[in-house]
Amino acid sequence: MPRKPKEIRWDRLRATVNPNSLKITSTVNMKSLPEGVLGQERAREALKFGMEMASLEYNIYLAGEPNTGLTYIAKNYLKRAAKDLKVPPDWCYVHNFEKPDSPRPIFMSAGMGKKLQRDIDELVKSLASKIPQVFDSDDYRAKEAEVKQVFERNKKRIIEELSQRAKGKGFILQFSQVGMMIIPATKTGEPMSQEELSTLSEKDKNDLRKRGDDLQVEMNEAIKMIRREEESFEKKRSRLDNEIAHYVVGTVIEHLRDKYENEEDALKYMDEVKEDIFKNIEDFKKKPEDQPHGPIPIPMPMPTQEQTFKRYKVNVFIDNSDTKGAPVIIESNPNYLNLFGSVERVAVFGALVTDFTMIKPGALHKANGGYLIIKVLDLLRYGFPYEALKRALRDGEIKIEDPSEFFGLFSTKTIKPGPIPLDVKVVFTGSNYLYQLLYIYDEAFPELFKVKAHLDNQMDANVTNFRRVGAAMGQFCRDSDLKHLDATGVAKLAEYSMELTGDRKKLSLEIGHLADVVKEAEYYANMDKEELINREYVAKAIKSRKRRRSLIEERVKEYVKRDILWVETDGYKVGQVNGLAVLSSGDHTFGKPNRITATVYLGKSGVTDIEREAKLGGSLHTKGVMILSSYIRENFGQDKTISLAASLAFEQSYGMVEGDSASAAELFALISALSEKPIFQGLAVTGSVSQKGEIQPIGGVSQKIEGFFDICNHKGLTGSQGVVIPDKNVANLMLKDEVVEAVKEKKFHIYPISTIGEGLEILIGMRAGKKTAKGVYPKGTLYNLVDERLKKMEKLVKEKEKEAAKGNNEEESLSCPECGK
């Protein structure tokens, strides 16, 4: 008689969390986690180490599975740690007076960039108003007139002296648009006509020509003297202008210099501005030109004076005036322009023009002096920004370039901003698979990302960690401005966290899933106008999420209920057992029962896996079939040759079968077929088997049990139905309340087993049997029936072989010795 099977008590089918054990009323007053992350010691250590290493090579890669909150963990921890660090400087771009097409970056203490921009704008505006007034004043006009009078007096004296010498030599001095010229004169002092010149003798002409040449030399000397007087005048007037400009400009700038005495770059820039204003003082002496106004705005070129003054503007590139501590930047769209900045352009009369005021920063500039977080998969989608980022980290500077220049393609005429020194820690977040690919195939990656933290996706389930889950969700609620959870809500969320891991001793660290449940639970709390999210709303959110994603599951169950997909839940069948599988539709997994059948016939081909032959079986499933074949040979092939031909199949399976979790069920079906003893169809089986007949744990045990329970519940619970599972999977059970209640009322049963023998006793109702000292199985046991069947099959096979051999010999004796016919 079979032994009474061991059955799992209903109170071990699901872990529950007692809200009172949490010792909280709600998450409202729960303190945030001091380390800023939930159960991720590796992440905390890696981030701390990476932050403390000054070298740009010690960047960080956080590896983990989706929904573990990689980016959230990095942001949360870095922001907490960075708030106590030094605020980085402001960066500004200014006009390069020596190389106008290469704007120069300058840096100042945080908050000083805006002030410099405002002060320079006010300076230029003030000078544009004051300088014309000063140069239009009576005092300036008097001084300028005095200088000019001296020049005019000296010029007049030189001309009069030249004119007297010309008269003495028979010439008169005349002025025209071309300049001065000497003309022969009559005795009366009138210009000599052409007719009068022609009447002169040859001797008089030569004499006149000689006197004209001498006078021309004197006139040239006089012109040089006049030019020297003009130069002297311009110098004196320029000196006068500079004295006035120095007085006006110097007074204002010196006042600013006192304000920026600790800003070296700002002081240097002010000196450059002052020198350029002196060189271009004429631009400031002009009064602003009036813009034409009309009913229709017409695009006009920028006025010359405004264009001139624009070069004195300050482009506040990075403003850290409101930054607290070091910046922590998350770039969710890491294309080239978003990372490295750009030079914008504006269309003017059909042409694209730009200047240094149109230089815009990228994420690297904003994170400079702090931390930049990037999802590595998003970065790799764009390709070349990854290469540019590595170059920036190697060179220690950020260059703003046109993407076409990065590829070495043609480029248009534009400005080339000077590079800015780079002092940033880059934090990549992504899967461990991507990390391995980059580490192996990109030789620069290990050099630049020396710090790796592989994040876990679960932690131990205990009261301390239940409270930590509550604290983490409380922090999330504060950050997202959501309602908080009460103690029952935290307890239900902790139970759901255990469901996600499939292990009652572990909590899930997939923060994304938990956060989504809290958001949805708040929706239901708002509908009832409740202040806190309790257990009821969390449970409703979980149920709603599952229902929205379970269309495929419902359709499969519908086909089973309508017997389109054939699953039996009562009666006995030889060589047939209900196996359990897990199907996944991406964001939803569910259990589905499958009929597994085995047939046995004479032959030596062994066990044939029909799924493999049809190319619908994966390598792991094939391995499981090979293992159960080894089990048959070890237990029944010690005293005979196994002469067996058998086939195994998943009935009504039209997709790929993978995994070894059905190997135990396949072995049960095969032994049933060999022993010709039926299996009770009200039971389903899951578990993998070793060569020694041990039942090994599998995944998705809760979903598998629930899937078979739903079918039995629909067809009617008889009180004898249930599921056989590996004993080592008991700790993974997190079954829904409906299943727990049915087990409690003895309407459904869950049997844990450790060996194939235990499972056979439950499924067939006979003891499997163990070999005696003589190496045989006791009569009346299941294995004895299998052994006897295999012996009969061996005998039949040998008889068939002898008959076949005898027939071949007879054919040979009847053949012609010469031709073989």
pLDDT tens readout for residues 382-416: 888 999 999 999 999 999 988 776 566 555 678 89
Mean pLDDT is lowest, of 12-21, 386-395, 428-437, 740-749, for 12-21
Residue 620 structure tokens: 């792991």
Q: In sequence order, which residues have a C-beta less than 8 Å from that of residue 188 and are 6 or more positions away?
A: none
Give the containing element (helix H, strand E) for 685: strand 683-685
Residue 174 structure tokens: 């005349």
In terms of Cα–Cα distance, which of 474, 451, 459, 583 is closest to 510? Answer: 459
Tell me whether strands 359-360 and 695-696 are parallel, antiparallel or unpaired.
unpaired
| Amino acid letter for position 295 | P
Asked whether residue 198 carries a pLDDT value surpassing 90, the answer given is: no
pLDDT at 687: 94
pLDDT at 294: 46
pLDDT at 750: 96
* C-beta of residue 343 within 8 angstroms of C-beta of residue 358: yes
* C-beta of residue 582 within 8 angstroms of C-beta of residue 700: yes
Asked whether residue 33 carries a pLDDT value surpassing 60, the answer given is: no
Give CA–CA dist 605/600, Å, rounded.
11
pLDDT at 36: 45
Q: In sequence order, which residues have a C-beta less than 8 Å from that of residue 83 and are 6 or more positions away?
A: 324, 325, 326
In terms of Cα–Cα distance, which of 359, 365, 334 is closest to 344? Answer: 359
* C-beta of residue 573 within 8 angstroms of C-beta of residue 676: no
State the virtual CA torsion across 635, 636, 640, 645 in degrees, nearest 10: -130
* C-beta of residue 365 within 8 angstroms of C-beta of residue 420: yes
Q: What is the CA radius of gyration of the chain?
A: 48
Report the pLDDT averaged over residues 644-659.
88
pLDDT at 44: 72
* C-beta of residue 707 within 8 angstroms of C-beta of residue 590: yes
| Amino acid letter for position 62 | L
Give CA–CA dist 734/728, Å, rounded.
14
Burial annotation 241-263 (CB, 10 A radius, 16+ → b, else e): beebbeebbeebbeebbeebeeb
pLDDT at 457: 82
3-state secondary structure 252-301: HHHHHHHHCCCCHHHHHHHHHHHHHHHHCHHHHHCCCCCCCCCCCCCCCC
Residue 689 structure tokens: 């088997």
Q: Read off the pLDDT band of 2 (50, 70, 90).
A: low
pLDDT at 675: 93
Report the pLDDT averaged over residues 629-638.
90
Report the pLDDT averaged over residues 623-646.
88
pLDDT at 455: 83
Give CA–CA dist 586/579, Å, rounded.
22
Residues 302-346 have pLDDT tens digits of: 455 667 788 899 999 999 999 999 999 999 999 999 999 999 888
Residues 486-516 have pLDDT tens digits of: 999 999 999 999 988 888 888 888 888 899 9
pLDDT at 602: 87
pLDDT at 821: 57
Give CA–CA dist 12/361, Å, rounded.
59
Tell me whether strands 425-430 and 351-353 are parallel, antiparallel or unpaired.
unpaired
DSSP string, 356-423: GGGEE--HHHHHTTSEEEEEHHHHHHHSHHHHHHHHHHHHTEE----HHHHTT----S---PPPEE--
pLDDT averaged over every residue in the chain: 86
Tell me whether strands 688-689 and 695-696 are parallel, antiparallel or unpaired.
antiparallel
Q: Read off the pLDDT band of 280 (50, 70, 90).
A: confident
Give CA–CA dist 414/707, Å, rounded.
67
Three-state SS for 442?
A: coil
Residues 51-69 have pLDDT tens digits of: 777 566 789 898 888 877 7
More confident residue, 189 or 735: 735
Mean pLDDT is lowest, of 49-58, 105-114, 269-278, for 49-58
In terms of Cα–Cα distance, which of 491, 467, 492 is closest to 19? Answer: 491
Taking each helix axis as running N to C, give the angle between helix 737-744 and helix 701-715, from 0 to 180 degrees, rounded to the nearest 10.
70
pTM: 0.75
More confident residue, 34 or 124: 124
More confident residue, 636 or 185: 636
Residue 328 structure tokens: 């922590």
Residues 518-544 have pLDDT tens digits of: 999 999 999 999 999 999 999 999 999
pLDDT at 56: 64
pLDDT at 57: 72
Report the pLDDT averaged over residues 675-701.
94
Mean pLDDT is lowest, of 229-233, 374-378, 396-400, for 229-233
Tell me the percentage of the chain whose pLDDT exceeds 90.
42
Q: In sequence order, which residues have a C-beta less than 8 Å from that of residue 543 and are 6 or more positions away?
A: none
Q: 175 has which bridge partners? A: 180
Report the pLDDT averaged over residues 257-272.
90
